[in-house]
């Protein structure tokens, strides 16, 4: 019951919702007219039922709320072909057949999209081979079969199709719907789901490779005649066009696919090409088989591109994560010694050009070994984490706060003209001493700090701050000492 509710979701009678349903229905009808314009004997069957792929992609994107638009579009997109006003009975039967057609399309598309999105994948099923296999079975085989059964049965029951032609019509309907989903659903989903970012020169590259494949397929299907030199040039350009398509990504590959399939349909419709000349099977069936196999090959290529892209994204994320771990202290989350030295070197280079003031503070927790010995290392780690928060909360966003190692911390602060370096040191000594670390005795810190002077290096300024720190220790701890050159 819950699955049925997900398929036939209530339609909100708002202006935007009605416009959405109308848009879906119009897209169905327009694409149906386009497809039927290129119907091919025997039976004047369209080789690719465009609405099936278009509606499948839209339902993947917008969910089951497309069902009403699909139903209305399927009704009007099909009933016009056999609607007649010769008698009331004929008109009534046309409507009933159209209603069956609409129900069949809703079940064929919305039902299986809901199943795919609920049980298989939440977004696009075209990024992994196991997801695509499910899409192929449900969306390209079972769904079109349901649509064909409803549609052909309705035409037969209400007298628009002779019963002896039932199986042939069922097969053509089934294959046409399946090929439509297989051709258009991945193509449209590439634009509906994937990020809008594209490689450099995407438009130019896509135009070039599409033109090469378009011309080559037009020659192969005998739509155009070219001289031998031009043909050889096209063949030589084929590997380059293929490489360009791979560079431009899956969208470009699907555009190339659409170009080749369009040429194949136009050629077969015009009575040209290999599918018309050879009669192992009907031209329609051979064309549909070609489109299906070609679409599977194109998807395989697209899948490789997507997996490569996903791998690069994953590698970039892992690289960023490793760089973060490499530069951050695991316990406190502060910058570690490597990042402190790296940042200090960059700051020294910057202030040499800007003549700004820079102060380095070396901070050490007083009697930290005693804390560890008395309360244990877990409590000691907690003290370091809490102290880190005190330091971060009482420094500016532009200051670097890092853990030098053990119980030692470093702050690198660019000083403004109205700020005195000792003000920050005095404030931190006072705040840490007043902070409640939940121990029997207060936790205190000693700070040694120094300011940048001409000809300072990262080593010299750190050494000077370190000497100032030990001077503070000798002075009795819980204090700060400044040391100049």
Last residue of a domain, one of 318, 348, 368: 318
pTM over 0.75: no
Q: Is residue 375 domain-shared with residue 240, that is, in the same domain? A: no
Neighbours of 97 (CB within 10 A): 27
- Judged against a pLDDT cut of 60, whether residue 11 lies above it is answered with no
Q: Which domain holds residue 468?
A: 337-482
469 domain-assigned: yes
Q: Is residue 304 domain-shared with residue 341, that is, in the same domain? A: no
The pLDDT of 158-174, averaged and rounded, is 87
Most confident of 60-64, 228-232, 478-482: 478-482
The pLDDT of 14-33, averaged and rounded, is 86
For 300-338, the pLDDT digits (tens) are 888 888 788 878 888 888 888 887 778 899 899 999 999
Least confident of 80-89, 150-159, 248-257, 406-415: 80-89
- Judged against a pLDDT cut of 50, whether residue 13 lies above it is answered with no
Q: Is residue 225 domain-shared with residue 268, that is, in the same domain? A: yes
Q: Is residue 177 domain-shared with residue 88, that is, in the same domain? A: yes
329 domain-assigned: no
Phi-psi region of 206 (alpha: psi -120 to 50; beta: other; left: phi over 0): alpha
255 domain-assigned: yes
Instruction: Provide the domain count of the chain.
Output: 2
- 155-184: burial string, b at 16+ Cβ within 10 Å, e else: bbebebbeeeeeeebbebbbbbbbbbbbbb
| 338 neighbors 326 (Cβ within 8 angstroms) | yes
For 404-453, the pLDDT digits (tens) are 999 999 999 987 655 688 999 999 999 999 999 999 999 999 999 999 98
For 90-130, the pLDDT digits (tens) are 888 888 988 999 999 999 999 999 988 887 766 667 777 77
- Can you say how many angstroms the Cα of residue 260 is from the centroid of all Cα atoms in its chain? 27
Q: Is residue 68 domain-shared with residue 150, that is, in the same domain? A: yes
For 197-210, the pLDDT digits (tens) are 677 888 999 999 99
| 36 neighbors 46 (Cβ within 8 angstroms) | yes
Q: Is residue 313 domain-shared with residue 345, that is, in the same domain? A: no
Last residue of a domain, one of 318, 347, 373: 318
Higher pLDDT, 194 or 3: 194
Q: Is residue 386 domain-shared with residue 455, that is, in the same domain? A: yes
pLDDT at 304: 83
Q: Is residue 386 domain-shared with residue 240, that is, in the same domain? A: no
At 195, is the secondary structure helix, strand, or coil?
Answer: coil
pLDDT at 77: 79
323 domain-assigned: no
327 domain-assigned: no
The pLDDT of 337-355, averaged and rounded, is 88
For 54-86, the pLDDT digits (tens) are 999 999 989 889 999 999 999 987 777 777 777
pLDDT at 361: 97
Q: Is residue 57 domain-shared with residue 122, that is, in the same domain? A: yes
453 domain-assigned: yes
Q: Is residue 345 domain-shared with residue 384, that is, in the same domain? A: yes
Q: Is residue 263 domain-shared with residue 382, that is, in the same domain? A: no
Which CATH number characterizes residue 428's domain? 3.30.70.270
Q: Is residue 105 domain-shared with residue 155, that is, in the same domain? A: yes
pLDDT at 26: 94
Q: In the chain, pLDDT over 70 holds for what percent of residues? A: 91
pLDDT at 2: 52
- Judged against a pLDDT cut of 80, whether residue 398 lies above it is answered with yes
Q: For residue 335, what are the contacts with CB-CB under 8 A and spacing of at least 6?
A: 327, 328, 329, 343, 400, 401, 402, 403
Structure tokens at 36: 């039927």
Structure tokens at 449: 């700090």
325 domain-assigned: no
324 domain-assigned: no
Last residue of a domain, one of 318, 345, 365: 318
């Amino acid at each position: 019951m819950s699955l049925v509710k997900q398929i036939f979701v209530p339609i909100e009678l708002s202006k935007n919702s009605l416009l959405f349903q109308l848009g879906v229905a119009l897209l169905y009808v327009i694409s149906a007219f386009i497809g039927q314009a290129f119907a091919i004997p025997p039976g004047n069957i369209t080789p690719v039922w465009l609405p099936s792929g278009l509606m499948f992609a839209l339902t993947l994107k917008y969910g089951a709320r497309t069902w009403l638009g699909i139903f209305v579009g399927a009704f009007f997109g099909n009933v016009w072909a056999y609607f007649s006003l010769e008698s009331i009975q004929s008109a009534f039967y046309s409507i009933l057949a159209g209603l069956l057609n609409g129900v069949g399309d809703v079940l064929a598309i919305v039902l299986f999209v809901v199943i795919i999105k609920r049980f298989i994948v939440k977004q696009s099923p075209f990024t992994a081979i196991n997801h695509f296999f499910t899409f192929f079975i449900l969306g390209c085989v079972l769904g079109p079969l349901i649509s064909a059964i409803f549609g052909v049965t309705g035409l037969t029951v209400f007298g628009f199709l002779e019963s002896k032609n039932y199986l042939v019509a069922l097969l053509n309907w089934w294959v046409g719907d399946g090929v439509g989903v297989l051709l258009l659903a991945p193509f449209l989903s590439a634009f509906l789901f994937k990020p809008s970012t594209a490689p450099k020169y995407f438009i130019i590259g896509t135009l070039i490779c599409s033109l090469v494949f378009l011309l080559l397929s037009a020659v192969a299907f005998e739509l155009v005649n070219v001289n031998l030199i031009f043909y050889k040039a096209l063949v030589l350009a084929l590997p380059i066009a293929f490489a360009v398509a791979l560079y431009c990504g899956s969208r470009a590959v699907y555009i190339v696919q659409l170009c080749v399939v369009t040429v194949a349909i136009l050629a077969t419709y015009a009575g040209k090409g290999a599918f018309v000349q050879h009669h192992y099977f009907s031209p329609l069936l051979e064309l549909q088989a070609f489109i299906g196999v070609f679409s599977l090959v194109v998807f395989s290529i697209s899948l490789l591109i997507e997996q490569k892209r996903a791998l690069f994204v994953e590698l970039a994320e892992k690289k960023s994560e490793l760089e973060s771990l490499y530069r951050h202290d695991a316990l406190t989350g502060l910058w570690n010694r490597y990042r402190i030295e790296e940042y200090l070197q960059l700051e020294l280079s910057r202030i040499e050009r800007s003549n700004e003031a820079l102060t380095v503070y070396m901070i050490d927790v007083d009697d930290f070994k005693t804390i560890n010995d008395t309360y244990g290392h877990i409590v000691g780690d907690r003290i370091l984490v809490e102290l880190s928060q005190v330091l971060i909360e009482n420094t500016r966003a532009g200051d670097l706060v890092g853990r030098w190692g053990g119980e030692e911390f470093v702050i690198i602060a660019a000083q403004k003209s109205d700020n005195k370096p000792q003000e920050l040191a005095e404030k931190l000594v006072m705040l840490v001493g007043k902070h409640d670390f939940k121990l029997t005795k207060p936790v205190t810190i000693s700070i040694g700090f120094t300011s940048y002077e001409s000809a300072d290096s990262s080593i010299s300024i750190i050494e000077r701050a370190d000497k100032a720190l030990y001077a503070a220790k000798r002075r009795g701890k819980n204090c700060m000492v400044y040391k100049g050159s």
